[in-house]
């Protein structure tokens, strides 16, 4: 019998994103900039959820800063729905399309962005 497919969903709900990440041991982070620049600082860098906490490529930020960058850059959080007791850590953060309809799932845009 084939395994059930995990559904990919999207959200911009701050409380949900925080709960989803923390239930899996994740904390808000951004990719460490290679060089300090006003643009990198102003836009907040590339957002990530840090599950490994090894300090190599990510630096921790507050949830407040995470959501400020998410909102400022009009980003959407994609995630796998859990199946049974299995907690998926799959996520992606993508740019919202103009006039983003939050009832639709922008997975095709994410796949096209990640796999040209």
pLDDT tens digits for 40-86?
A: 454 567 899 999 988 788 999 999 999 999 999 999 999 988 877 88
Neighbours of 66 (CB within 10 A): 24
Instruction: Compute the distance between CA of residue 95 and CA of residue 109 in angstroms, rounded to an integer.
Output: 9
Domain boundaries, the chain: 8-109
The model's pTM: 0.72
Is pLDDT above 50 for 114? Answer: no
> For the chain, how long is the longest CA-to-CA vector?
54
Residue percentage of the chain with pLDDT more than 70: 70
The string of DSSP codes covering 38-56 is HHHHHHT--EEEESS---S
């Amino acid at each position: 019998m084939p395994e059930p497919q995990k559904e990919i969903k999207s959200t911009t709900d701050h409380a949900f994103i925080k709960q989803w990440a923390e239930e899996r041991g994740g904390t808000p982070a951004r990719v460490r900039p290679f060089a300090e620049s006003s643009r990198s600082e102003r836009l907040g860098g590339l957002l990530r959820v840090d599950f490994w906490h090894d300090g190599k490529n990510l630096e921790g930020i507050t949830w407040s800063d995470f959501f400020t960058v998410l909102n400022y850059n009009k980003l959407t959080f994609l995630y796998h729905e859990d199946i049974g007791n299995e907690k998926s850590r799959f996520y992606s953060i993508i740019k919202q399309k103009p006039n983003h309809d939050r009832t639709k799932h922008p997975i095709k845009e994410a796949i096209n962005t990640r796999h040209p």
